A = this chain, B = another copy of it.
C-alpha cells in the first residue's frame, strides 16, 4: 500500500528470481550430465552476480544441485501421475509407467542424464517420487499382485533395472528396437515383482498414451 511496501515486495520478487535463475542453471547443467560446476560458471549461466550465490545457498553448491535435482524429480513424478490416471491395477500402472519411461529415456536422453549421474542414490531421496513409488509398490503387495517383500526392496530392484535400462538405451549399438527392448524388460520386471508370466506378457501389449513431443516443462530445466 505504501511506497515502502512496494519496494519490499519488489525486492522479494527479485530475490526469488535470482534464486530461481540459480536453480534453473543447475538444472540445465544436470540435464547436460554434469553433477557440479564452479560457482563462477553457475552464476554466469544464471546471469546473476557471483556474490549473490551464497545469499541463496550458504550451504554451497551441493545444496543448489540437490534443489535442482528435486525439481527435476518432482516434474517426473507429476508426469508419471498424469500418465497413470484412470488405471487401478497396480501391475498395469507399473507396466505403463515403466514402458513410458523407457521410451522417454530413448527419445530424450538429456532428460535422463541426472539419473545416470546420481544413480541409485536417487531412489533414497525423501521426495515425492520415492514416496509415490513406494505407495504404488505397497498397493501391489497389499493386493497380492506383487511378492510379499518390503516395498523398499522392490523399489531398489525395479529402480535398479530402470537405471540399467536408461544406460543401455544410451548406447545405440546395443539395442535394435527401443520399444521391443523396453517392453521385454518391463515384462521381466513384472515377473520379478511376482506377476505371473502370462499376465506380464499381456500387460506390455496394452496401448499407451502418446509421449509429449516437447520435454515436460518443470522437468526439462
Chain A, 61-115, CB within 8 A of any chain B CB: none
A159 to nearest B CB, angstroms?
6
Chain A, 165-184, CB within 8 A of any chain B CB: 165, 167-168, 171, 174-176, 181, 184
A175→B150 contact, CB < 8 A: yes
Comparing A11-19, A21-29, A117-125, A205-213, the segment that makes contact with chain B is A117-125
Q: How long is the Cα–Cα vector from A163 to B164 in the complex, in angstroms?
A: 10
Q: Within 8 Å of chain B (Cβ to Cβ): is A136?
A: no
Q: How many residues of A contact B (CB 8 A)?
A: 39
B157→A120 contact, CB < 8 A: no
B184→A119 contact, CB < 8 A: no
Interface of A with B (CB < 8 Å)? 116, 119-121, 123-124, 147, 149-150, 152-153, 155-165, 167-168, 171, 174-176, 181, 184-185, 188-189, 191-194, 196-197
A120-B164, A192-B192 known, 17 other contacts, Cβ within 8 Å: A116-B119, A116-B120, A119-B119, A119-B163, A124-B171, A152-B168, A153-B174, A153-B175, A153-B185, A157-B185, A160-B160, A160-B163, A160-B164, A160-B165, A188-B194, A191-B191, A196-B197
